[in-house]
Amino acid sequence: MENSSSINNTGVSGYPSTRKGWVLRGLRDGFPICMGYFAVAFALGIEARRIGLSAFQSFLMSTGMVASAGEFAALMLIESHAGVFEMITTCIIVNLRYFLMSCSLSQKLKSTLPSIHRFGVAYCITDEIFGLSSAVPGYLEPFYSYAITFISVAGWSGGTVMGVLVGNILPAAAVNALSVSLYGMFLAIIIPPAKQNRFIGGLVAVSMAVSWIFSILPLTKGISSGFKVIILTILLAGAAAALKPIEDNNDSEQED
């Protein structure tokens, strides 16, 4: 309920006015992300163990990268003994959506915000934390993102380590069930605004449809999922921006 009301533009009432308030709010909003991350990272840990990473190495990877598709790609690169150039280019392509998200989030930061917080918030850009951070009205209080990230990364790194250590004793049915948790969270981020705004609803439906078509057409189905996300984001968000530009107001409510 809190998340659905935080995404639409019903006003700033109900939002914390102090830094401490934002931290508490972030810890609360981050809790479901922590649970979801734990589940997904568990699957990641099982994969890390399969290719021979230790629990400590997996912990470093998850804490340093905090990226789901990005880390699966990283494991694939380590397994295939990829060279430095291939590592860097693959990481850029698979994680390029964070570049777009960072561009988007840059507009939520006060222009006077000290650089140290820009370095800090940069670490906090994942699909879910970005979703929550960009959904607050007005400027983003960095400590809100830090609090969400603190609890989320605890779940993410903890889940990875647990996957490495005890992944082989969890029943396959449970691992299978956990694999959809992140997608459920994505739905929880995009569906409430789609319900409020018919254009966003249409955009979400078209995005899913085109994504599906891309995955079955012979010409496009070989494209990696990270690259597909970039191509479709540029095409569809570009088309949406051309069709229905957002209101041209100069206050800080531009992000929703």
Partner 1 sequence: MTENIYISLLIMCLTVYMIRLLPLLFLRKPITNRFIRSFLYYVPYVTLAVMTFPAIVTVTDNVWSGAAALVVGLIVAWVNGDLFVVAISCCATVFLTGFFF
Helix segments in 11-109, DSSP class H: 19-50, 55-65, 68-79, 84-94, 96-106
Q: What is the DSSP letter of 235?
A: I
- Measured in Å, how far apart are the chain's first and last C-alpha atoms? 17
Closer residue to partner 1 (CB): 18 or 88: 88
Residue type, 125: I
Q: What is the DSSP letter of 35?
A: H
Minimum Å distance from CB 21 to partner 1? 20
Residue labelled with tokens 């804490």: 63
- The stretch among 14-22, 85-93, 153-161, 162-170 that binds partner 1 (CB under 8 A) is 85-93
Q: Is 130 in the site for partner 1 (CB under 8 A)?
A: yes
User: In b/e form, how buried is each residue of 212-229, taking b as 16+ CB within 10 angstroms?
Assistant: eebeeeeeeeebeebebb
Closer residue to partner 1 (CB): 153 or 189: 189
Residues 229-248 that bind partner 1 (CB under 8 A): 229, 232-233, 236-238, 240-242, 244-246, 248
Minimum Å distance from CB 43 to partner 1? 9
Q: Give the tokens for residue 8.
A: 């639409």
Q: Is 53 in the site for partner 1 (CB under 8 A)?
A: yes
Give the number of residues written for the chain.
Answer: 256
Residues 162-201 that bind partner 1 (CB under 8 A): 172-174, 176-195, 200
Q: Give the total of residues touching partner 1 (CB under 8 A).
A: 110
Among 61, 136, 147, 153, binds partner 1 (CB under 8 A): 61
Q: Is 129 in the site for partner 1 (CB under 8 A)?
A: no
Q: With beta carbons less than 8 A apart as the criterion, state whether 126 and 66 touch.
A: yes
Closer residue to partner 1 (CB): 131 or 163: 131
One character per residue 92-121, x = contact with partner 1 (rule: CB under 8 A)? x--xxxxxxxxxxxxx-x-x---x--xx-x
